[in-house]
Chains A and B, each alone.
Chain A
Amino acid sequence: MVNYDQLIFEISKPGRSAYRVAKADVCDKPIESIIPAGLLRETSLELPEVSEPQLVRHYTLLSQKNFGVDTGFYPLGSCTMKYNPKLNEDMAGFSGFAALHPQQKTQQTQGALELMYDLSAMLSEIGGMDAFTLQPAAGAHGELTGLMIMKAYHESRGDQKRTKIIVPDSAHGTNPASANVAGFDIVEIKSTRMGEIDLESLKAALGDDIAGLMLTNPNTLGLFDRNIVEIARLVHEAGGLLYYDGANLNAILGQTRPGDMGFDVVHYNLHKTFSTPHGGGGPGSGPVGVKAFLEPFLPTPVVIKSESSYDLSYDRPLSIGKVKSFYGNFGILVRAYTFILSMGAEGLKRASEMAVLNASYIQEKLKDHYQVFANTKCKHEFVLAGLKGELTQCSTLDVAKRLLDYGYHPPTIYFPLIVPNAIMIEPTESESLETLDDFIDIMIKISEEADTNPEALKQAPTTTPIRRVDEIRAARTPILKWEPTPATSEEA
């Protein structure tokens, strides 16, 4: 294959174009006679000038420098990189959805509203919640929305003192960041060695200034917090609310539900549990579910159903307002809806069972070869504490980079923060036993290489389009956009 390394700007040449704009035989007046010259752009517009075949080859060759779920095993902990069914894409592509304008009257969008209404009901059933908003565009956006709902709830009761959110030190970074954006102060509490909530720390932190607790269960170590009922009781007794970070929902479908555990607010990541593609970083979707007493605070509009039709309700005086324009990442909702219909109740349950089985199996097979942090039953993911042996010359980063040479996407590394040298592995349900066995063999081989041939790890990767990058240089002297240099601009 060609070793392609050009930017689109570098293959640009004046006079080329991949597009023809139809000229209407109307109003051939100069633009200045429609819009006064003083309001028009003066600087020239620097965009590439390329033909269509060049452009298609450029982005095709770029895509080949990427690794996706369709390329290979992607055991990236906490990210649930499961297979993205192709049917989902086709369903979202129906013109009845894809060409629907968000400002159309609801009489013209009944099918879209019905889908949203049904999806909300399904998500409620899956999580044991009473109502959902589909508006948040991603997991962190869902966290922010959920926290705003909690704040609005306390304020609506005249309870202005509750300005703090408890976040365990094992939480995802978005949790404290979202709480801050929602205008809360953060109280960080220590987790136990197993990443579970330390009940004594929790009790000490609870008080009439606490708005609630954010929790991931199973936690970021992949372990189910067995004290969840007691935690919920303590938080509720202190007048706080319980927030469920649904990043790890793939572990519990059909087994247990956040609503039944005592959570008042949840968010899901449809781009994790419900198989919508990650797209290289987005778009995602982060619906937020609540118990009935919080429903009045959901963002507007809410999809409602009357006897004969669906509608959008804006008349909700206690609502937190809008967090996004229109109704959310609708196209992603169609994909998740497709996945739920395809899997059904049995399939979703099976997905969690197999996700947990796959993770447990890898954990079992690797426990003698890597440093074990929590030697206990895991759920859909587990965390290793790096290579064995105090004297190893290789780091967790080296292990991750060596995996690239063997054709795997590395696990999440150095997270959660409470585990030294963390390697967080989440296989999901969509991988075969053969893939798991091959991965296990390679992980064992790498652990051996760390002793016998550490340079192989330190130099890795060597088979990828580029080798390790100079991150420090990138941050110290930021080059964030392409600038023409004399060498490239004299091409014409």
Chain B
Amino acid sequence: MFPYIPNTDEDVARMLEALGLDSVEALFSDVPEAVKLNRRLDLCAPLSETEVTKQIKALADQNVSTDSLVCFLGAGAYDHAVPSVIKHLIGRSEFNTAYTPYQPEISQGTLQAIFEYQTMIANLTGMDVANASMYDGASATAEAAMLAAANQKGDTVLIASTVHPETIAVVETYMRFKGIKVVQIGAKDGVMDRDALTAKLNADVVGVVVQQPNFYGIVEDYSGVAEAVHEAKALFIMNVDPIGAALLKTPGEYGADLAVGEGQPLGNGLNYGGPYLGFMASTKKQMRKLPGRIVGQTVDLDGKRAFTLTLQAREQHIRREKATSNICSNQALNALTATIFMSVTGREGLYQMAAETARRAYYGYEKLLATGHFKPAYAQPFFREFALEVNGGADVDSINAHLFENGILGGLNISDDNAQRILFCITEKRTVEEIDRLVEVLEAYPW
């Protein structure tokens, strides 16, 4: 008896009889003997719900999560608030157990939610249109670079070295197999070196990728970049943080052709790296080149407003090898999460969350500097994250171990041969007491 399989022995017998077969094994008589397994799979025996729960709970309990630590770690995944309504709504199985909305008549829930999502992402990034989501921020960035490579003349993608290393790595993988070169634009004082950009921009460049705020949390000034990139007939691709976008000059305002980013901070839990979602938005000009699913508004036979997957001529199931991308499944439920999150916070809430994040991060930054044990790695404006250099060369791993013993999850170790550096992250969830305690515990470190 298996709880997820309804057929009884009697049912099976009835069905076999209808098929004129005498055994279940006979259903597999078309599998050549040479490749038959003819043994039991070497896996556990079926377990009860209680047994499964105990076994998996034991694994979960071996982890020390941010549930029991005060988190000052970011670097690509952020501990922002996740409003309670989210789990209740995305847990509704009409959303959760549906497939891709190929049948619009019985998928208006998913389709309308995606339409709302596209609207919110377009508004957030200041772009004209958005697609229905990508796997994550890194692969969305790679897909944007692919779009540029497929449609612009040339064979080189420029990417700022201040972009998240994981994003650079994923872009490099995608480009390598497509025969496109990836050239990094060096940094000066923690931001993209504009002279290096100018020197590297030439007719071979198809796209330029930057990040806002950058990997070090720095808010870069990208004024004039779009103009220079467009002069070179390349596309300007901005990877932006969606919380920061509520506060900071948007890709649209900077004149970007494509805006991409990691949507995790929009209500998605940390989940050890996934599932998250990538978002992608573009100007109207690039609309028909976008990868992935897109939902459009139309009417039904009675003239009633309706939503449906559209512009499918771009997609793999129609265009096969000529498709703009191979993406099929995306991260729809995470996009729904983001949609509900942005509806919960709304215009004012998202702005306040971003502003409060910036204020608290700034407060922590000043307090940490006041200890005398750190100096700023870069003297630049920042949002949510900031890199500090350790005075006197104490080891960041050892500092983080000390924090961990005191229930604090420290920042990412971004040291190199020249200096010990730590990347702290402070979101709106960190209270003044927690930040003060971080400072206190650091003071107690045997410097």
Contacts and interface: CB of A to CB of B under 8 A. Distances in A.
B123 A46 contact: yes
Interface residues of B, number: 206
Contact of A224 (B30, B56, B88, B362): B30
Interface string B275-310: 111000000000100000111111111101111101
A433 B109 contact: no
A40 B249 contact: yes
A66 B2 contact: no
B389 interface: no
B12 interface: yes
B29 interface: yes
A67 B75 CA distance: 38
B73 to A, nearest CB: 5
Contacts of B109: 62-66, 280
A322 B170 contact: yes
Contacts, number: 695
A144 B287 CA distance: 24
Contacts of A340: 43-44
A474 B110 CA distance: 17
Interface stretch (B99-107, B194-202, B368-376): B99-107
A121 B260 CA distance: 35
Contacts of A348: 41, 43
Tell which of A39, A144, A256, A277 has the most Cβ of chain B within 10 Å. A39
Given A103-B412, A122-B43, A338-B56, A474 B308 contact: yes
A282 B99 CA distance: 8
B85 A278 contact: no
B60 interface: yes
B340 interface: yes
Given A90-B53, A474-B310, A325 B43 contact: no
Contact of A110 (B63, B98, B273, B334): B63
A175 to B, nearest CB: 8
B430 to A, nearest CB: 9
B79 to A, nearest CB: 7
A106 to B, nearest CB: 10
Contacts of B112: 7, 62, 65
A41 B76 contact: no
Contacts of A346: 40, 45-46
Contacts of A111: 58-63
A280 B332 contact: yes
Contacts of B331: 137, 279, 282-283
B167 interface: yes
B105 A282 contact: no
Contact of B97 (A8, A38, A70, A400): A70
Interface stretch (B14-22, B230-238, B437-445): B14-22
A21 B99 contact: no
A347 to B, nearest CB: 5
Contacts of A39: 219, 221, 248-249, 381
A66 B166 contact: no
B94 A364 contact: no
Nearest to A252: B31
B12 A357 contact: yes
A66 to B, nearest CB: 4
Contact of A347 (B2, B19, B56, B223): B2
Contact of B85 (A20, A56, A321): A56
Interface string B43-56: 11111010111011
A481 B346 contact: no
A157 interface: no
Interface stretch (B153-161, B203-211, B312-320): B312-320
A18 B342 CA distance: 10
B170 A31 contact: no
A321 B321 contact: no
Contacts of A471: 298, 308, 310
Given A41-B248, A271-B329, A342-B52, A21 B353 contact: yes
Contact of B299 (A279, A327, A469): A469
Q: Which 7 pairs between the two chains have the least Cβ-Cβ distance?
A: A326-B273, A96-B60, A279-B333, A111-B62, A281-B332, A102-B273, A344-B46
24 contacts: A22-B431, A40-B247, A59-B89, A63-B89, A67-B106, A76-B99, A87-B52, A97-B63, A101-B73, A102-B76, A139-B328, A226-B32, A253-B41, A322-B138, A325-B262, A334-B56, A341-B51, A377-B30, A404-B106, A432-B6, A469-B308, A473-B299, A481-B122, A482-B115
Given A31-B355, A52-B344, A103-B76, 8 more contacts: A36-B381, A47-B124, A137-B135, A181-B174, A229-B34, A271-B329, A351-B5, A480-B129
